[in-house]
Structure 1
Amino acid sequence: MASAPGRSDRQVGGRSRRRGSPASQPCSAPAYFTRKIPAYELLGEEGLVRLEEQADWILKEVGIRIIDDPATLDLLRQVGATVDGTRVRFDPGHVRSLCRTAPSEFTIHARNPARDVRIGGMNVVTAPTFGPPMVTDLDRGRRKGSIEDFRNFVKLGHVSPWIHHSGGSVCEPEDLPLNKRHLDMVEALVTLSDKPFCGTSSAPERALDSLKMAEIAFGAGRMARDCVVMAVVNVNSPLSFDHITTGVMKAFAEAGQATLMSPFMMAGAMSPVTQPAAIAQVHAECMAGIALYQIFRQGAPIVYGSFLTTLDLRTGAPTYGTPEANLSTFATCQLARRVGVPIRAGGRYTGSKAPDAQAMMESVNALNAGIMAGTNLILHAAGWIEGGMATSYEKYVMDLDHIGALGRQMQGLVLDDNQMGRDAYRETALGENFLGVDHTQRNFKAANYMSDLADTGPYEHWAEKGSLDMARRANRKWKDMLAAYERPPIDAAVAEEVAAFVARRKSEMPDEWY
């Protein structure tokens, strides 16, 4: 087990100038939210211990599978796990002890230092949806994603103050070969935004390409010291890690970079149908993944990811924002805090096929649960629709508006003299309104969150403007955002080196479409 140089056991971070970065532009909003409201605690000590004991039982009696990776099985055997073929079992408490070297907080650095994000603690970082093969908008309908769509979504995330991290596969560019498209995607993430980004985790060799492109952008010395890129890795639920998953984890861990470890679990399909059983399985899978990451490199930064939803048991279709799924979010966030690592939970999930009332109801329920539960990283914060099969332009900006409102809510109340407004009473006679007083004039822009999309005016004004519902207002909004986009500065030599790397790697590979 190698130790990460320059890192304490519980913290990773720091700040310094970027390789080749021009003078950084100031941000118009904080680089991430810092919550001032407490997390909701659903379970007491007895309930949490019961779930932890169930997770330990799973790891001891059922175990996990490591598929087609003898080297990882050998490492697990060396740290005291019981290895029987591809099945690995752990004594109670063993996995938890292996997780202890994972940092409780860490910084993911951006090309623009003002956009660095801090993962963990009381911080909340948002990133857009991840992985849909399709895109949709009101003008062109549903279609396969393209590299143009991918670049558009990177630009939308860059323009918005409510997206803090560019994410990774915001949509799959199906117009490019499967084995090469990751190069264009990471190039877009590096050059079209100066926010943090994810590398590609669909294959170990693509992970290595992503790490090399990050190294070009930041410099090898900088990358050896700091976390500058993250991978998103899903457990092959139930309880399996294949060689692709472990290969990506090894690449990122050995480079000292971050991973989001997340089971993708639908209760009744990848776990027993009852939520407590599913929660305990998520906990077992996450802890096993975190432990494995620390075996690959002690101190490597990792996030405990919870994606646990329900099924419509009449049809087998996944459902989102349901009471059961939301209760699971509360419980898994509590369990993750006891492990002592940052938490991912609560995206804007929906099974709706359109940016409609169902979409917003399910998304609000899912995201609110994550915020209330105390999540640190919100993946799928914007654009998710159709159960994750598509990224919607309209829903993307509708989601942004809600994130902005929640960000304001997380700030809590400020109880200073200005907020108490005693001078407003002195200016106003009893029985008169406060609209014209100096206190109102000084505070009207900042007193309340101002939605970009909500129409709060009278019916007549709404009718005169075309009687547009929110989806159609969102259609106008994303086009305005793209029109306002300005490419952030990047050192020309860095951009050229990234482009040359992409061209060389493409020339070394035949096109593979499937």
Structure 2
Amino acid sequence: MDEKLGGEAESAGARRSRADRGGGAAARRAARSGGGPGQSLTYIRRRIGVYEVLDEEGLALIEKNADTILEEVGIEFRDDAEALELFRQAGADVRGERVHFPRGLPRSLLKTAPSIYTQHARNPDRNVEIGGKGTVFAPVYGPPFVRDLDGKRRYATIEDFNNFVKLSYMAPSIHHSGGTVCEPVDVPVNKRHLDMIYAHIKYTDKPFMGSVTAPERAEDTMAMAKIVFGDDFVENNTVLTSLINANSPMVFDETMLGALKVYARHNQACIVTPFILAGAMSPVTVAGTLTQVLAEVLAGASLTQLIRPGAPVLFGTFASSISMQSGAPTFGTPEPSLVSYGAAQLARRLGLPFRTGGSLCASKVADAQAAYESANTLNSTLLAGTNFVLHAAGWLEGGLSSGYEKFMMDIDQLGMQQRFAEGVDLSENGQAMDAIRQVGPGSHFLGCDHTQANFQTAFYRSNIADNNSYEQWLAEGEKRADQRANELARRWLESYEAPLLDQGIDDGLRDFIARKKESMPDAFT
């Protein structure tokens, strides 16, 4: 869940062995079979088009209305004199804590923001490109609870956190380790960010997100990143992509602004994301929500360029509808998908990478409701052309729980999405003319040379779904999909092997964490 819901040298990765590097053919085989522990797929390079719901007239109307909000209503930047002064110097009309933007000012400031950037991992083979035709899947973010492998809903622990990082590392279709994959409530709140960042460095070599719950925790993240990558490398490259939520409607608070300033100063990427439950935090209409989303992103994202021109920033949106009876968030419904499609179009017009979506659901367990709602959200996420997908696996209960079984089921679906994004193979092999000539009318293709050469990689093979006969299903224990996911998660965790981490870097991280923890008393609030 997002924060508001809960929630130089060569890098060590360049020095580690590259024995696990796989070629394109291996990646395609993994994509079709669901892969296996440790088989990594590179981030998606989409070969399919995007789905758009707004024409030029509609886009221009929403942009005009957003400019009106920025100019007439304004956006509040609370308890941050530096941000207010920067906007004032840039030409905005600052009245107290509310900033009114002349038309076109935020867009002008955002011209220095890159449309595509590389986030470096400590293993360079796992670097991801965010923007353009790239899509990067990252796991669930922020839940205080877990649905564990014994079927219990309970508060998350640091062991759970480590487990989800390990599963993300082992999942072929997860390209990014994410951030707060669950909130480890057994660790003091003022110290847990140290353990979480260490887990992302120790237990995986994929890229990861930084802490945003306080500016000093963002600074700690930067310090740990520099131990791994080196000062100069970090200042000149992006090694972190971190979530900055607007406090919708039309407010940025001091916590988020503090973290944004830390990361932007160090050339690290910020995902500026209005956190919206439509009907409560935005109007009930799609057009009204899109207008507010655009205004909030323009305001927050432009601040990154005042801090450091050229710092990467993403156009983010998290938009859900609510039950008008209970007020609870709902997922997999049509209106948030329309918001995602429209927001993606607006992001492309701004020239910013786009974040939305995931495998979102309101279900409390990994059941049919979870599957339908997650599939609806995930399909629209990919078709929108999303570049960074947070909550791609493990989300339950409206973001209150991270589910082990749900995580395994979701990554299976992510593998399917990765295959779908490859589009249609029009190579000589893909055209299959030899097969058609060989088989001719009235026969079948099962035994022909082309089928024999391609049968292992032709179709995606799920490692969760049961496609066998009823009799075989009975003989194997009548297991449901969630039961098979449970068994798979247990096997993966039992077989986990950590990627190599330079001992000197590990010692430096442990020493930094020990000194930081000793410098302050425990706090749980």
Give the TM-score range, shorter chain. over 0.9
Q: Counterpart in 2 of 1:113?
A: 124
Query: Which ranges in structure 2 are unaligned for 5 or more consecutive residues?
Result: 1-8, 23-38
Task: Give the match for residue 245 of structure 2.
Answer: 234
2:60 to 34, 44, 49: 49
For the pair 1:344 / 2:352, whether they are aligned, the reply is no
User: What is the match of residue 480 of structure 2?
Assistant: 469
State how far apart, in whole Å, the 1-side matches of 2:266 and 2:105 are.
25
Query: Which TM-score applies when normalising by structure 2?
Result: 0.93
Q: Does 1:309 align with 2:311?
A: no
Matches within 5 A, 1:58-457: 58-428=69-439, 430-457=441-468
Q: Residue 485 of structure 1 corresponds to which residue in structure 2?
A: 496
Residue 6 of structure 1 is matched in structure 2 by none
1:56-108 CA-partner distances (Å, limit 9, x unpaired) = 11111110111111121111100000001111101111111111111000000
Q: CA deviation at 1:317?
A: 0.5
Distance in 2, Cα, partners of 1:324 & 1:246: 29
Q: Residues of 1 paired with 2:296 and 2:159: CA distance?
A: 36
2: CA distance between counterparts of 1:19 and 1:363?
Answer: 34
Question: Where do 5+ consecutive residues of structure 1 fail to align?
Answer: 1-14
* DSSP 3-state at the match of 2:252: strand
- Once residues 430 and 245 of structure 2 are traced to their aligned partners in structure 1, the CA distance between those partners, rounded to angstroms, is 46
Check conservation: 1:207, 1:251, Cα contact below 8 A. yes
Name 2:15's counterpart in structure 1: 21
Per the TM alignment, residue 138 of structure 1 is displaced from its structure 2 partner at its CA by 4.5
What's the offset of the Cα at 1:241? 1.1
- Do structure 1's residue 499 and structure 2's residue 499 form an aligned pair? no
Contact 1:99 1:291 in 2 (8 A): yes
* Deviations 1:370-404 (CA, angstroms, capped at 9, x unpaired): 11111111000000000000000000010001110
Instruction: Give CA deviations for 1:424-464 in whole Å, capped at 9, x if unaligned.
Output: 23443642222122211110111111111111111000111
What CA distance in whole angstroms lies between the structure 1 residues aligned with 2:116 and 2:428? 34
Could you tell me how far apart the structure 2 residues matched to 1:405 and 1:417 are? 23
Give the match for residue 31 of structure 2.
none
Deviation at 1:199, TM superposition (A): 1.0
Q: Give the letter aligned to residue 200 of structure 1.
A: S
Percent identity over the alignment is: 47
How many Å apart are 1:168 and its aligned residue? 0.5
Q: Where do residues 2-21 of structure 1 align in structure 2 (5 Å cutoff)?
A: 18=12, 21=15
The letter of the residue matching 1:479 is: R
Does the aligned pair in 1 maintain the 2:107–2:350 contact within 8 Å?
Answer: yes
CA-to-partner distance for each residue in 1:330-367, whole Å, 9 max, x for gaps?
11110111110100012111011110111111111111
Q: Residues of 1 paired with 2:227 and 2:195: CA distance?
A: 15
8 Å Cα contact 2:331/2:360 also seen in 1 = yes
Kept in 2: contact 1:20–1:494 (CA 8 A):
no
Provide Cα deviations, 1:468-505, integer angstroms capped at 9, x if missing partner.
Answer: 11011110111111122110011000011001111110
Distance in structure 1 (CA, Å) of the matches to 2:40 and 2:148: 28
TM-score, normalised relative to structure 1:
0.95
Instruction: Measure the CA separation in 1 of the matches of 2:42 and 2:491.
Output: 22
Aligned-partner SS, 1:253: helix
Q: What is the number of equivalent residue pairs in this alignment?
A: 500
Which secondary structure does the structure 2 equivalent of 1:107 belong to? Answer: strand
Counterparts of 1:429 and 1:191, CA distance in 2? 56
Task: Give, in whole Å, the separation in 1 of the partners of 2:276 and 2:437.
Answer: 58
